Amino acid sequence: MDTKWLEDFISLAETGSFSRSAALRHVTQPAFSRRIQSLESWLGTDLIDRTSYPTRLTPAGDVFYEQSLEVLGQINNARALLRGKHKAALTTIDFAVPHTLSLTYMPKWMTALESGFGHISTRLIALNVHDAVMTLVEGGCDLLLCYHHPLQPLQLDASRYDMLTLGRESLRAYSRCDKTTVRTTVPKFLLPGSSAAPLPFLSYTNNAYFGRMVELILANTKTVLHLDKCYETDMAEGLKMMALEGRGVAFLPESAVTREIKDKRLVRADGGSGNDSSAWEVVMEIRLYRERPSVLHPGKPLVARLWEYLMRRSQTEIPLKSVRK
């Protein structure tokens, strides 16, 4: 038996809906239904009364629901113990963070945070956005730091997860400087390009979060951008290095290029401020998530204290802004 089946069943018992639980568990409804059926087959009894709506548990399901909560609690405790250094685990905060934020935001944010909260022992798990979210959902971290945009929201249940907004980040087009004068820097490639001479485009892969953000920019701009895709990767740092080599235009998060802009090695490829340039960028929030403490998942006391500190800070001060290198 897979312990995920127990988590699926608990979710279904609490929501009373196959479709809602499937969404919360980040699987398709048919796959979710098969997992519930596999659990029933393993137990040898029906847990769900499928003749009623909304979904109800059978008498056996009611009994097994209470047992599932207890079993999962014991498994989680055992996992914490078997990971070793239980005391150290309780005093270390595990962060799941997308690669770009782990390089650009996290170091400076931690320094600013510790100046007010105090020293924190941390373990950082750098992943893509989807895997970082799944790490939180599957209980593999204490806190999730990630980007958010209303047109590409994270499918996290607000009744189960707490959220704080820490800052904002702009994603826009950059190019290597072609030449530099006393007052200005000129990009090697300047948007929007033309049909006769499209600009070499350094692109994200389709499954990359920033790739979806760039698609929003291209879909919503009134001025057509003439781009010729010549390179593709899922890493913003990879695109930045190609842009520094003068290989094309890349859409990059502002915090990732602050040093290069200051050194006049990169420059905005959208012409700077203006009506057109604002249409060629997207602003994302930087958010922090945690699973709301419950009887089944009480969480670490250290995480609770940190969250309370950040809550007080957000209520009395301007939230910590995006920190640049």
Return the number of other C-beta atoms located less than 10 Å from residue 124's C-beta.
17
Burial of 169 from C-beta contacts in 10 A (0-12 / 13-18 / 19+): buried
Instruction: Give the count of beta carbons closer than 10 Å to the beta carbon of residue 14.
Output: 14
**263, pLDDT greater than 70:** yes
| pLDDT tops 90 at residue 197 | yes
Lowest mean pLDDT among 68-72, 165-169, 191-195: 68-72
Question: In a 10 Å sphere around its CB, with 0-12 CB exposed, 13-18 middle and 19+ buried, how is residue 13 labelled?
Answer: buried
Domain boundaries, the chain: 3-82, 86-166+286-316, 169-284
Position 324 pLDDT exceeds 50: no
Q: Which tens digit of pLDDT belongs to each residue from 37-66?
A: 989 888 889 998 877 667 789 999 889 888
For domain 86-166+286-316, give the fold. Answer: D-Maltodextrin-Binding Protein; domain 2 (3.40.190)
pLDDT of 322 over the 70 cut: no
Mean pLDDT of 225-240: 93
108-125 mean pLDDT: 90
Report the predicted TM-score, pTM, of the whole model to 2 decimal places: 0.69
Q: Which of these, 230, 210, 231, lies nearest to 281 by C-alpha position?
A: 210
Same fold, 86-166+286-316 and 169-284: yes
- Judge: domain 169-284, CATH 3.40.190.10: yes
The fold of the 3-82 domain, in CATH, is Arc Repressor Mutant, subunit A (1.10.10)
